[in-house]
Structure formats: C-alpha cells, structure tokens
C-alpha cells in the first residue's frame, strides 16, 4: 500500500511482517496491538467485547484515542453507545493478518479521527498458499476448527477462510462462541493491482464484570467468580471493501471503497443494586449501524530529494442506539436512551517530505470536517429533541529525522490529533471536537548488526479527557489534561533467528486545572520479550515467543492506587513439512493479577435486592488466568 512507504516518525514505531506475527505472543488480532511499544490492553469485558486500551499515559477506553485501519478501512466506531471510537477486532482472524504498522504518539498526516495517543494499520491476506485445516483446544474448555484456502498461483489477497470457536472459559460468566468467514480476490490488470474482500462475524459472550475485594477476602467469592447478571452480549459485523493501487511512472495512488453493517448488544452491571434496590442497576445497550466510505492516497515523486504525499477520505454513518435499565430477568423497566444519529466526515491532507543530505523534514497538515445530526426520542438527563452541528478542525503535523553519524538517527515529530464529536454530546450548532497537541524527540542507534538502542521523550496536551464512571456506567468528559513522559529500550539479535527486546515507557499524566493524576492509566509499563523466527533443527522449523509485562500501580479516583502486576505469556510453533503444532500458554506462572481496580459504592446480593446502600469499596476485574491452548493444523 502507498501508506506503508512512509518513513518512521518515532523511535518507538514498529513494523511487523508475517514472521513477526507468528512469533508474537497471543492468539488474536487484539494481541498483535500489544506489540505497539507502550501499549497495555485490558480484557475485563470477556472475549467478545472490545478491549480497553492504555497507551503512553492515556486510558484510551475502548479505542477513543487509537486510530486503527484495515487496508485503509477505518475500524473505530463513531458515537458507539458504549464508547466513542469503539474498536472491536474480534471479527478479524489473526491468520489473515500479513503485517502491521504500529505508531505510538503524534499521528502522521494521513491519520484522521481518533489519532490522539497513537495509530495502527493492518494488512489483510493469507500469507501461505494451499489448503489450511486446523483444530484447537484449551484448558479453558475451548474447542475450535478452521479451514482456509489460497491458490498456489494467486497472491495473499486471494483467499477463503472459515472458523468457529466455542469456550466455557475459566471461572464463572466467561463463556463465549464465535463464527467468522472471509474471502478475498487479488488481481493485477496492467499497472493496477485490484483487491476486494468481505469479512463476516457473529459472536455471543458472557462478561464476568467486577468483584468486590471484601467479598473475595471473606471467601464469599472466588477470584474468578462473578455476580449473577454481571453482563454479556452479542456482536456481529459484515464488512466489504475494494482497493485499487496504481503505479505509473512517478505517480502511485491507492483508492479504497468500503461498506459495513454492524450490530452490538451489551448487558452490564457494575454496582449490583446500589442505586435501584428494587430492580437492580443492570443496563442493556444496543447499537445498529450502517457505514461506508472512501479513501484516496497518492504519492508523486518529484526527484531524489522531494516527493509529495496527499489524500482525501470520507465516511458516512447511520446509527440507531438504545440504553435501558433491566432487572435480573432481563426485562426492561426503564428506557434511558433511544437515539438516531447521522454522522458525516470529510478530510483531506498533504505532506511534503524533503531530504537535505542527512536531514529529512516532512511538514504536513490535515483538514477535517464533521457533520452530526442527532434525533433523541429518549435521553434521560438530556431530554428529547433534535440537534445538528458542523465542526471543522485543522491539524498541522511535522516530522523530522537527522542522521548524526553512520549508526545514529535523531527523530522528532509534532502535531495535532483529534477526536470527532460524540453525537450525544452535540447541541444544536455546537459539536465540540477534542484535540491533542503533542510532540516527541527521540533517537535510535544501531550499535552493531546485532544491537539497536532507542529512546526519547514526549508530551501531549488534551483539550477534553474521557473517563469511565462505573457508578453511572457511562463515559464522561472531565476537562483538559497533559502528559509528559519518555521511553527507552533495546533490540538484540545474538543470532539471526533470535530477537531479544526490552521496552520501558513512563508517563506522568495530570489534569491541568488541579494537578490531579489521570486515573487508571499506567504510569510505568515495562515489557521484555524474546522471539525465535523460523529456527531450523533437522526437519522441524521452530517459531516461538515469550513476553513478560510489568504494569506499575495506577491511580484510582479518591487518592487510591491499584496493585502492580507481573505476567508472562508464551507461544511456540513447530512445523514438520505440512503439519503445524501450536502451543500457547497464557499467564505461565498462574499469577492472580488484577486487570482493573476501582473504588466506588455497590451492593451485590443475589437473593435480596433490598440490601442497604454500601460505602465505597475496592472492586477489581480478574486478569487472564493460566491457560494452555493447543492447536494442530495442516497446510496441504
């Protein structure tokens, strides 16, 4: 793709090919995003709900501050009822990801909505030709099967894929099942490469929600237990896209057209019966949307020192969303939200990379406009009625790199990221856009063929922070913030197939008005990993990886702090001719770690909803337990 040719703008930037994908720890596409330096994921909603993302001091909730696309198709959902920028990657089989580009920090000019804390691009295809047949099973009472095919004479973009998985999970309220299908076609016609693909997904899942720490301490609940009615949901998606990439002389362009149908239903309860003793506090959220858009990206080579990159994109979303209070039997007792939303986005950008000897500078800018039309039949606290607004934003961006020697490069970037207006916050003629102005200075040094060092410092100032209120069970805007931090690490390759990495990211994030720490976002994240890339011993080709993550205590509103956590995961693959054996171990040392911790009032009692309201206490979501997953496959 044209976008992939862009040079690095950060010493923390990362590019993955298919070998990197196979050696990286985890089994899902979401796990691949963990390869972004400085990023931590929380899966407290169970397998099926979008993960929560933390990057460089940002609690990016379910994707509000991280822009991710697939072959140019934006994957973040605007104005989702559960969270603006909702980023759900469960629909995309990891086997169909041929590569990824992961950029923490200031977005490049081609990145638009949600490019605040970072961005990522995923490449789609089936890397190896032939008939792929696989089976999986795990100690989480998981069974699955898959089949795929790519003709020997076709490129990675020509494929068919089908898989299905069912699991009861480890502990209570963790069952899930899903079915996925996909097909793609890749063909070259003259100077143009044409690609088209369609992906479909349907899933059902339970969510364990939170546990009160005092219930666990007293033995009333086990660490992996759940309260009745803690949550769950349904999720489905159908996505189709066509891509045309043309190369002619000094001109290269890529055009992407896409369309999507999406449905989501979420049940959640964080407080039991604290606010509503007679019915319980559970809520039911639904989202139905139809989306579509187009993207055009071009590059013109003007000579050895200058080229021009430019592009334009548009997106249309039609959404119907509801929220209701439900009792333990799932019956609706109160309608809280019933809204229809039409959102339109139109953007254009350009950048001009210039090379002046060892110095490269790339000024650029993006201009973006949003139109939001809201029709609220019901919205408790905000009232009913219609609203319509238009909101423009200008986002200048600058990247620079200087080779100060044969082995050392200094990199810098500065610019503005932004988050589109959330539809339910729109008033007539008023649609506030959240902007983030930031900058980064870093360096990378190639000490030898087998050792690379990197490090840098960054700062980001956000006009309006988003934070989840568990008592209200909704996301709230909470004011302006700033983040100052740094990163460092190394990559060592003692032998060709072996790669050892260490990455450290620290960030001090505070509200600018009060100096209060931004809650939930990690102040320190340390990740150590080892990857073995296709090592050969006799007839066996080995691929393996291990990852250890240390997550520092996180601030909790009210002056509290979470526990630190240390978790190690392992993956390995052995291939003998056409037979492939995969072994993945999550949480190798069976650590009972807390994925999230919160302090607020709740009242949980399965048999008596008339318990008196409780005082604020500590709650937590259990992190991933020890799990062994075994896969057996054939490529014929």
Is the confidence at residue 393, as pLDDT, over 90? yes
The confidence band for 614, taking pLDDT boundaries of 50, 70 and 90, is low
In whole angstroms, give the CA distance from residue 368 to residue 431: 13
DSSP string, 373-427: EEEEEEETTT-SEEEEEEEEEEEEEEEEEEE-SSSEEEEEEEEEEEEPPPGGG-B
Of the candidates 397, 396, 350, 341, the one whose C-alpha atom is nearest the C-alpha of residue 370 is 341
Is the confidence at residue 5, as pLDDT, over 50? no
Poorest-confidence range of 419-433, 548-562, 615-629? 419-433
- Determine the pLDDT at residue 607: 42
Task: State the distance between the two ends of the chain, measured CA to CA, in whole angstroms.
Answer: 29
Burial 428-455 (b: 16+ CB within 10 A, else e): eeebbbbbbbbbbbbbbbeeeeeebbbb
40: which strand partners?
54
Give the C-alpha distances (Å, rounded to integers) separating 167 from 103, 131, 409. 33, 26, 48
- Determine the pLDDT at residue 2: 40
Poorest-confidence range of 317-321, 507-511, 614-618? 614-618
User: Which residues make Cβ contacts (< 8 Å) with residue 384, sequence separation at least 6?
Assistant: 376, 377, 378
- Determine the pLDDT at residue 351: 95
The domain of 241 spans 2-635
- Determine the pLDDT at residue 475: 53
Is the confidence at residue 565, as pLDDT, over 50? yes
Instruction: Record the tokens describing residue 410, joined without a space.
Output: 């200094």
* Residue 356 near residue 315, CB atoms below 8 Å: no
Is the confidence at residue 608, as pLDDT, over 50? no
On the CB side of 343, how many CA atoms lie within 13 Å of its CA? 29
- Determine the pLDDT at residue 468: 56
Structure pTM?
Answer: 0.94
In tens, the pLDDT along 172-200 reads 999 999 999 999 999 999 899 999 999 99
Sheet with strand 616-622: strands edge to edge: 211-212, 616-622, 594-601
Is the confidence at residue 229, as pLDDT, over 70? yes
Share above pLDDT 70 across residues of the chain, in percent, rounded to a whole number = 95
Of the candidates 398, 393, 431, the one whose C-alpha atom is nearest the C-alpha of residue 414 is 398
Over range 147-161, report the average pLDDT: 96
In whole angstroms, give the CA distance from residue 289 to residue 199: 16
Higher pLDDT, 9 or 67: 67
- Determine the pLDDT at residue 537: 86
Domain total in the chain = 1
In tens, the pLDDT along 272-294 reads 988 888 898 999 999 999 999 99
- Determine the pLDDT at residue 476: 60
- Determine the pLDDT at residue 609: 45
Residue that has been written with the tokens 């795929």 in this structure: 148
Report the chain's mean pLDDT, rounded to a whole number.
91
* CATH code of the domain containing 455: 2.40.170.20
Instruction: Record the tokens describing residue 502, joined without a space.
Output: 């260490």
The confidence band for 144, taking pLDDT boundaries of 50, 70 and 90, is very high
Share above pLDDT 90 across residues of the chain, in percent, rounded to a whole number = 74
In whole angstroms, give the CA distance from residue 386 to residue 13: 43
């Amino acid at each position: 793709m044209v976008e992939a040719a862009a040079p690095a703008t950060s010493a923390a930037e990362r590019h993955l090919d298919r070998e990197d994908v196979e050696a990286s720890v985890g089994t899902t596409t979401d796990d691949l995003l963990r390869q972004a330096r400085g990023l931590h994921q929380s899966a407290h909603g169970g397998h099926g709900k979008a993960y929560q993302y933390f990057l460089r001091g940002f609690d990016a909730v379910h994707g509000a501050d991280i822009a991710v696309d697939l072959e140019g198709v934006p994957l973040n959902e605007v104005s989702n009822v559960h969270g603006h920028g909702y980023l759900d990657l469960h629909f995309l089989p990891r086997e169909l990801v041929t590569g990824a580009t992961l950029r923490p920090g200031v977005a490049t000019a081609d990145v638009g909505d949600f490019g605040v804390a970072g961005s990522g691009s995923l490449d789609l295809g089936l890397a190896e030709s032939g008939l792929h047949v696989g089976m999986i099973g795990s100690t989480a009472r998981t069974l699955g099967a898959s089949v795929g095919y790519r003709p020997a004479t076709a490129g990675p973009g020509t494929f068919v894929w089908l898989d299905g998985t069912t699991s009861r999970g480890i502990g209570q309220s963790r069952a899930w099942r899903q079915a996925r299908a996909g097909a793609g076609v890749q063909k070259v016609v003259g100077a143009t490469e044409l690609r088209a693909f369609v992906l479909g997904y349907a899933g059902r899942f339970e969510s364990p929600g939170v546990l009160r720490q005092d219930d666990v301490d007293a033995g009333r609940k086990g660490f992996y237990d759940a309260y009745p009615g803690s949550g769950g949901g349904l999720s489905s998606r159908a996505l189709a896209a066509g891509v045309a990439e043309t190369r002619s002389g000094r001109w290269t362009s890529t055009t992407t057209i896409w369309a999507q149908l999406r449905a989501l239903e979420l049940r959640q309860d964080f407080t039991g019966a604290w606010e509503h003793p007679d019915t319980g506090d559970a809520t039911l959220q639904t989202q139905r949307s139809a989306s579509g858009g187009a993207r055009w990206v071009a590059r013109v080579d003007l000579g050895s020192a200058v080229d021009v990159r430019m592009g334009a994109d548009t997106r249309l979303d039609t959404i119907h969303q509801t929220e209701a209070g439900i009792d333990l039997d799932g019956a609706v007792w109160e309608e809280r939200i019933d809204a229809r939303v039409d959102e339109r986005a139109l953007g254009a950008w350009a950048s001009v990379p210039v090379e002046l000897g060892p110095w490269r500078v790339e000024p650029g800018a993006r201009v973006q406009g949003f139109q939001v039309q809201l029709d609220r039949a019901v919205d408790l606290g905000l009232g009913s009625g219609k609203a319509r607004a238009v909101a423009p934003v200008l986002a200048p961006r600058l990247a620079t790199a200087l080779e100060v020697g044969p082995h050392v490069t200094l990199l810098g970037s500065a610019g503005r990221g932004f988050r589109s207006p959330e539809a339910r916050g729109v008033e007539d003629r008023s649609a506030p856009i959240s902007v983030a102005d930031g900058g980064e200075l870093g360096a990378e040094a190639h000490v030898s063929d087998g050792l690379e060092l990197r490090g840098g410092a960054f700062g980001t100032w956000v006009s309006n922070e988003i934070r989840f209120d568990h008592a209200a069970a909704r996301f709230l805007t909470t004011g302006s913030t700033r983040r100052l931090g740094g990163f460092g690490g190394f990559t060592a390759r003692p032998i060709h197939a072996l790669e050892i990495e260490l990455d450290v990211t620290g960030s001090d994030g505070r509200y600018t008005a009060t100096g209060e720490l931004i809650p939930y976002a990690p102040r320190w994240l340390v990740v150590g990993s080892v990857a073995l890339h296709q090592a050969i011993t006799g007839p066996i080709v080995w691929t393996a990886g291990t990852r250890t993550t240390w997550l520092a205590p996180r601030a909790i509103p009210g002056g509290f702090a979470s526990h630190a956590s240390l978790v190690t995961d392992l993956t390995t693959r052995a291939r003998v001719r056409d037979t492939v054996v995969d072994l993945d171990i999550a949480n190798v040392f069976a650590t009972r770690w807390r994925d999230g911790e919160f302090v607020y009032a709740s009242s949980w009692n399965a048999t008596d909803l008339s318990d008196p309201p409780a005082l604020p206490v500590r709650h937590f979501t259990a992190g991933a337990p020890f799990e062994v997953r075994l896969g057996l496959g054939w490529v014929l």
